[in-house]
Amino acid sequence: EVQLVESGGGLVQPGRSLRLSCAASGFTFDDYAMHWVRQAPGKGLEWVSGISWNSGSIGYADSVKGRFTISRDNAKNSLYLQMNSLRAEDTALYYCAKVEDYGDSPLGYWGQGTLVTVSS
C-alpha cells in the first residue's frame, strides 16, 4: 500500500525558512516523479513543485520560484521542500503527491498534508 507521510510544518515568521519532508513507502520510490501541492485555508489546490525520478527535471510554480527548492533522496525514500523567504501567502496545507504511473501522469496518491502557517 502506498503511503506518503508529510512532516515539518508549523508556525514560522515571515522571512524565515522551513523544510518539509515526505516519507514514502509501499512502492519503488526511485521509479516515480513526485510533487508538492498546497491548499490555502478555504481555497483551491495549487501545484507548487515537481521533481522527476532521478532529479533530472525540476519545476516550480511562479509563485515560489527562487524561494523554494525541491529535492529527493532515493536512498531514504524521501522527498523534501526547502522553503525560504516565507510570506503570509505561503500559509497552506502542503501535500506530497506521487504520480499514478510513468511518463505524463496524474497525481494518483496523496499524503494527508502538513500545515504551514506564516505569521508574526
Partner 1 sequence: EIVMTQSPATLSVSPGERATLSCRASQSVSSNLAWYQQKPGQAPRLLIYGASTRATGIPARFSGSGSGTEFTLTISSLQSEDFAVYYCQQYNNWPAFGQGTKLEIK
Alpha carbon distance 95, 113 (integer Å): 4
In 3D space, the residue among 110, 93, 91 whose CA is nearest the CA of residue 35 turns out to be: 110
Cα distance between residue 100 and residue 9, in whole Å = 25
Distance CA 23, CA 105 (A): 21
Q: Does 9 bind partner 1 (CB under 8 A)?
A: no
Check binding of 104 to partner 1 (CB under 8 A): yes
Pairing, β 10-12 against β 114-118: parallel
Report if residue 42 touches partner 1, rule: CB under 8 A: no
Q: Segment near partner 1 (CB under 8 A), from 18-26, 68-76, 80-88, 111-119?
A: 111-119
- List 12's β-bridge partners, or say none: 118
Give the span between the Cα atoms of 79 and 62, in whole angstroms.
20
95 binds partner 1, rule: CB under 8 A: yes
Q: Note whether 46 binds partner 1 by CB under 8 A.
A: yes
Interface with partner 1 (CB under 8 A), residue from 41, 56, 66, 106: 106
Size of the site for partner 1 (CB under 8 A): 21
Contact segment (CB under 8 A) with partner 1 among 16-24, 59-67, 69-77, 78-86 equals: 59-67
Q: What residues line the site for partner 1 (CB under 8 A)?
A: 35, 37, 44-47, 50, 59, 61-62, 95, 100, 104-108, 110-113
